[in-house]
A = this chain, B = another copy of it.
């Protein structure tokens, strides 16, 4: 701290910037305090009566610390970090704890390196948790396998905080060595968790292994147990997973200090229309939480959890990440200051995109002959295990249905909402194709496909006929990743996601327009309005979320933790 700052803090010299006449939301003591905020060199030097070389009169508006997203996969915004920052900063998010496990599944360490490099120059602070589960299981082919020794290479990189969500909770509690090698390697850093429905002694084991957070609570009881056992719990509002309304019932004065907000996976149009962490705060207040507690959960608590000691509060020595709010109900973010710089005003970013061209993460859809992919699915019994979708959830049920067959192969029945699902390996050109059946998607005719398919991000495609499904696959290959909707041999709409098949450097408007059009089109084609046409699909290949899933290697029962025959 240079001597000059001491003089400025003491009021002997003018600060570079003073926000005059603020109502400061002080998350440290739960008070609203009137005063000026003096800022020098990106840091707050004092709240009080200050003069500045530049002064901005806030006319007694509220200011609060910048919001922190405690757990996010930037890739789920389909935007590169640069475009993502232009989207979320106007919403008030100034810091994110990001787990780049999507791009890591496609590009390995190169993908993480890309995210670190692409984030470095941004006004948004992006902290990285090293992906712990690449691949998420051994039950799929992924673009990379990251072991403890691989992750160790990035452990000491700037902005790396620790180990990302340890999704392989069975591996943890059953003592899998590969899993524990990673936990041990990171035992002196922060380790994020992911333990849906894990409870009792299994949860004791999981936490004993060093895991410190969880963002998968879906019930009040889960939240209470996890906080009581020492976890910090992220209350999540994503696109497909919305836990806030339920979990807020568990928030008490005694446990709120250990609660935080996150988005996890949120699509760009949802961020644009509804908000980012500001949405979590707003919704919590709507449901009756005190505004200061809600803002604490979006700021101080997260900073404490991740040991970000200069973030999360408006006080001397803290980074000048500040939001000007219209009021403490609607939480409309009017201006955003990052390290004392005005970076967003009235919902718009004041900085340009800063794309990073990195050949290592481009051209990642590697399949030879999409037009000849074999999608024949043998179900000799005519009684099949079917993935049954649950509205507004990424969890599925495993159900048994009688289906139509021809020569033992599944054939679509127009009267049944049961569609063929295919996962086509796209990293190593193995030719792997996993086939299954889905109930509740609703598509009447055609195919929907994308290169986002958690967590291996093989191609996933659903449809009522093989021709349209193959066309979708071919389209995805041609445009180096993204999304496509096909019907009767025609590509009805598509979106390119050229970075790892997951993200694009295209401007937000384009992406959002495309996505909105494609979602609308999918729904016009019959897709169930209580699911996300693309995001729900994208989670059907994730074999760590119950109950029945599909990878490029086949149908997977998560409860049994093994592949199962489609014949019931």
Q: Which residues of A contact B (CB under 8 A)?
A: 1, 3, 5-7, 9-11, 26, 28-31, 33, 38, 43-48, 172-175, 177, 180, 183-184, 187, 200-205, 207-210, 212, 224, 227-230, 252-255, 257-258, 292, 304, 307, 309, 313, 315-318
Supply 29 A–B pairs (Cβ within 8 Å), ascending by A. Answer: A1-B210, A3-B180, A5-B205, A5-B209, A6-B173, A7-B175, A9-B173, A9-B205, A10-B204, A28-B227, A28-B230, A28-B255, A29-B227, A29-B254, A29-B255, A43-B208, A45-B204, A45-B208, A46-B204, A47-B204, A48-B201, A203-B316, A208-B317, A212-B309, A228-B315, A230-B313, A230-B315, A230-B316, A304-B304
CB nearest neighbor in B for A225: B29
The 10 closest A-B pairs by CB, nearest first: A30-B254, A46-B204, A3-B175, A230-B315, A9-B205, A207-B316, A208-B316, A29-B228, A9-B204, A6-B175
Contacts of A209 in B (CB 8 A): 1, 5-6, 317
Docked-complex contact A201 and B46, CB < 8 angstroms: yes
Docked-complex contact A174 and B229, CB < 8 angstroms: no
CB nearest neighbor in B for A31: B228
Task: Knowing A43-B208, A201-B46, A204-B47 are in contact, say whether A230-B318 is a contact too (CB < 8 A).
Answer: yes
A1 touches which one: B7, B183, B201 (CB < 8 A)? B183
CB nearest neighbor in B for A255: B29
A26 to B292 alpha-carbon distance, docked (Å): 24
Docked-complex contact A317 and B228, CB < 8 angstroms: no
A313 to B187 alpha-carbon distance, docked (Å): 18
Task: Knowing A6-B205, A208-B5, A316-B207 are in contact, say whether A48-B228 is a contact too (CB < 8 A).
Answer: no
Docked-complex contact A9 and B208, CB < 8 angstroms: yes
Docked-complex contact B175 and A28, CB < 8 angstroms: no
In whole Å, how far is A64's beta carbon from the nearest beta carbon of chain B? 15
Contacts of A44 in B (CB 8 A): 208
Docked-complex contact B174 and A6, CB < 8 angstroms: yes
Contacts of A1 in B (CB 8 A): 180, 183-184, 187, 208-210
Contacts of A6 in B (CB 8 A): 172-175, 205, 208-209
Knowing that A6-B209, A28-B228 touch, tell me 15 more A-B residue pairs with CB under 8 angstroms: A3-B175, A5-B205, A5-B209, A9-B201, A9-B204, A10-B205, A11-B201, A29-B252, A31-B254, A45-B208, A47-B229, A48-B204, A207-B317, A210-B317, A230-B313
